[in-house]
A and B are shown apart, each in its own frame.
Chain A
Amino acid sequence: MGGLVYVVDRDWTSTQFLAAFAGLQPGVSGLFGPLGPVLPSFLHAYAFALLLILLIGRTRRAAAVGAGAWFACAAALEFLQAPSLQRLFIDHAVPASAAPLLHSIQSYVLNGHFDPGDLVAAGLGCAAASAISSVREAPP
């Protein structure tokens, strides 16, 4: 569903994995309405926090640790797009030919915008994953 948001609700030129096909985009539908901007952040955090919890262990403690760990990861990625860090990347920019992987990260940092709404969505996703894991593991 998160992928669907990108395909039908976003300008493909703003997404690295769709940018190459931007010329084929029929239009932006706005199908998901006001949820479109934050739904991918919520679903991505929910899915990965849930998977992380399952790998750590099927306990309530694991549910809390897994969700917290993934939220820390998501928050760190979001803060990379903060203006102060963007300036740091500009001052120490690397060309694509020198370090393609670092250049991709650089593109993510410089082309994105820090948005507290994404942080909230990721937090809600992680909390939902923790909650549903705890419910599933509760004794009958």
Chain B
Amino acid sequence: MILPLRMEAVSFAAGGRAIVGPLTLDIAAGPSTIILGANGAGKSVLMRLMHGLLDPTSGSVVWSEGDPGRVRRQQAMVFQHPIMLRRSALANVTYALKVAGVPAVERELRANEALREVGLLQVANRPARVLSGGEQQRLALARAWALHPEVLFLDEPTASLDPSATREIETVIKAFDAAGTKIIMATHNLGQARRLGDEVIYLHQGRVLERAPVDQFLSQPGSAEAAAFIKGELPWV
């Protein structure tokens, strides 16, 4: 177990401008965590700080597991725009398994199982880059699925997809949750937050303004900023 994750007085600045923090957060196993906030609130940066893609300017990000290699292997991240290598869908998944140190004999089996999970088994041998946007995003989820991560970060995974592709992605995210993976997802789609999330962390100008169960947050936001955000986003739910 690499959870819980503790962020202690973490801040991140770029070019002399504070983008996130200072903030202190504990992320425990279990409930799906949705990071909500307007564009520029620092959602993506916060997730990258958690995932280790960015180093905090000050403060510390500490997992309960001490071995950095294991911490790395127990996390996966799905980005808004999936990046696929110029090889088959299957090979993209086996590549990730190879990097993770999975023995060669297991890779194809696990990759196929992951592709079946996201409904892409029939395109396993197609080049990944010629798949549709929704299929590529599902492939990104399959790549993460095959790794059996303890924590899955999702950075607005459906922001550039149509409603039907979005539904398919959400189904897979629910399957991750059901399989025991901790979901940490940034979105500004309130409907999605309600469908997939258990708790909400609301970011405003790089700070955590509110943390509450999703139903409570949406019905009775505890701050004027959050209320305005919900009101502003509602027409698009």
Co-complex (A, B): no
A residues whose Cβ falls under 8 Å from a Cβ of B: none
B residues whose Cβ falls under 8 Å from a Cβ of A: none
